Amino acid sequence: MKITLNREDIVNQYPPFNVTNTKEVVDLFAKEQIHLYVHLPFCKKKCDYCYYKSFDTFSNEMVEDYLAALKREIDTYSQMPVVQSKRIKSLYFGGGTPTLLSCQQLEELAKYIFEKFDFIDDFEFCVEANPDEQYLSPEKLHLLKQMNVKRISFGVQNFNNEILRLNGREVTAETFYRVYDRARKARFEIINIDIMSGMIGETWENWRNIISRLIQLDPESVAFYKMKLYYNTKLFKKIKKGEQAGNLMSNSEEMAMIGYAYDRLQDECGYAASNCFSLVRDIAFEHVHAKGILQGEDMLGCGLAAHSCFNKFLYQNTWDMKEYLQVAKRGRIPVKRAHSISAKEEISSAMVYGIRGLSIDRKHFIDRFGVDMMLPYSSIINELVKEGLLILDDKALRVPRKYYIFADDICRRFFLPGYETMMLAHLSRG
């Protein structure tokens, strides 16, 4: 368009007020929905492969001190205008082992959180649970149900007692079956089972039995996690010293096993992949918390070493217990490190997480960023489509079913320069 220089029209408002309408008035003061994570870092015994911040040696006084500091942190957040303008879409108790807390401690913590934050009506409340009869009694399960817990997630990892022992887990398969039955009787809406692939001592015969057992148990959701040998784990230290019994399978064998699991659960039972690590019996059983994170929704993390992605900042609380207690009790947020998320990082993150979620809706992308994903990423997308690793149409960019388990590899094509090597703090299987 040719510019006419005549000073006839003065621009005093842009966009023009003609774009306003009555339909969007309802959205004017609508609260944005976010997710809330609460870290409870106490375990009966820390597994050899666990890299999360947790303690298996602690006193009742330490737990009470921690809960007091945690509530103070929650209170501090709840008084911030930037948080008061949000509504909680999902609440996630992770750890550690949240169910290690007593019934009274769990109930008081949940009640405190509900009083401090504004929740949407149909929010998801998810609790991680170790299948331990001592700490997961019928009474505690009943309490969790009364607390509006919709999703309970059991980290069983394997159904073979010897493999569990080799990897530093005390809970037996038989104990899990009894606790699972209790949870079924408590009538939780969603029961998730976590299975770990590539554990020390794993065999094809046992892996087939695991999938067969999952089919028999028929949970609403199954999550598969590859055992990574992170440098801060007991298992890595044992392997480095040559003290670990049992074999560590190759990467190619682990890939074959996870592919077998996905195929059987989808073909025999009709499970659908909700992301690159979870399958659900029905789309209604999707993990709201995980889905929200993959779609770029904000998450506020409370507790020791908790991560947050909130208000265009990525940050983490201190991982030192003494420091956490001191700072939180003074009414300050115990943040140890932070990073302001740039526009480039935000759009890159949308591609990375979207591919991990197996699909990126093009309209949603345009609504969020103002441009179609093809504008910044056409060359990468076209190359991946040509290789058959992605499918592109007018509505979405999708990962083909046969490459679901490789979404973590595909999404790396959208990493910003230099970020690839910053995420490799583990031992390669070869």
- Give the residue-averaged pLDDT of 319-325: 97
Q: What is the pLDDT of residue 6?
A: 83
Q: What is the pLDDT of residues 188-202, one digit of tens each?
A: 999 999 999 999 999
Q: What is the pLDDT of residue 56?
A: 85
Q: What is the pLDDT of residue 229?
A: 83
Does residue 232 carry a pLDDT above 70? yes
Of 404, 411, 412, 413, the C-alpha closest to 276 is: 404
By the 8 A CB rule, do 146 and 192 touch? no
Does residue 424 carry a pLDDT above 70? no
Query: What's the token pair of residue 359?
Result: 């699909």
Q: What is the pLDDT of residue 429?
A: 58
Give the C-alpha separation, 159 to 247, whole Å: 18
- Please state, for a pLDDT cut of 90, what percent of the chain lies above it: 79
- Residue 231 CB-density burial (10 A; 0-12 exposed, 13-18 middle, 19+ buried): exposed
Of 96, 77, 97, 98, the C-alpha closest to 34 is: 77
Q: Which residue has the higher pLDDT, 6 or 136?
A: 136
- The helix/strand/coil state of 155 is strand
- Band the pLDDT of 52: cuts 50, 70, 90: confident
- Give the residue-averaged pLDDT of 208-217: 98
User: Over the range 111-127, which residues count as b (16 or more CB within 10 Å of their CB) and which as e?
Assistant: ebbbebbebeeebbbbb
Give the C-alpha separation, 7 to 297, whole Å: 45
Q: What is the pLDDT of residue 421?
A: 76
- Does this chain's domain 32-293 share its CATH topology with 343-430? no
Q: What is the pLDDT of residues 403-423, one digit of tens each?
A: 999 999 999 999 999 887 776
43-52, 292-301, 389-398: segment of lowest average pLDDT = 43-52
Amino acid at 238: K
Does residue 67 carry a pLDDT above 70? yes
Q: How many CB atoms lie within 10 A of CB 147?
A: 18
- Give the residue-averaged pLDDT of 80-98: 96
Q: What is the pLDDT of residues 11-32, one digit of tens each?
A: 888 888 888 888 887 777 778 9
**CATH number for the domain running over 32-293:** 3.80.30.20
Does residue 311 carry a pLDDT above 80? yes
Does residue 157 carry a pLDDT above 70? yes
- Give the residue-averaged pLDDT of 336-349: 97
- Give the residue-averaged pLDDT of 365-376: 97
| 3-state DSSP helix/strand/coil % of the chain, to nearest 5 | 45, 20, 35
Query: What's the token pair of residue 384?
Result: 């991946």
- Band the pLDDT of 5: cuts 50, 70, 90: confident
Q: What is the pLDDT of residue 246?
A: 66
Give the C-alpha separation, 386 to 274, whole Å: 24
Q: Which long-range contacts (CB under 8 A, 24 or more apart) does 162-167 make?
A: 162/201, 163/199, 163/200, 163/201, 163/202, 163/206, 166/199, 166/200, 166/201, 166/245, 166/246, 167/47, 167/48, 167/49, 167/196, 167/199, 167/200, 167/201, 167/227, 167/235
Q: Per-domain residue ranges for the chain?
A: 32-293, 343-430
CA distances from 235 to 53, 227, 229, 325 (A): 15, 10, 7, 29
Give the C-alpha separation, 403 to 259, whole Å: 9
Q: What is the pLDDT of residue 13?
A: 83
By the 8 A CB rule, do 104 and 18 touch? no
* Bridge pairing between strands 221-226 and 278-280: antiparallel
By the 8 A CB rule, do 233 and 49 touch? yes
- Give the residue-averaged pLDDT of 172-186: 96
Of 179, 177, 75, the C-alpha closest to 136 is: 179
* Bridge pairing between strands 313-317 and 335-340: antiparallel
Q: What is the pLDDT of residue 365?
A: 98
What average pLDDT does the chain have?
Answer: 94
**CATH number for the domain running over 343-430:** 1.10.10.920
Does residue 69 carry a pLDDT above 80? yes
Give the C-alpha separation, 346 to 329, whole Å: 33
- Give the residue-averaged pLDDT of 143-153: 97
By the 8 A CB rule, do 99 and 136 touch? yes
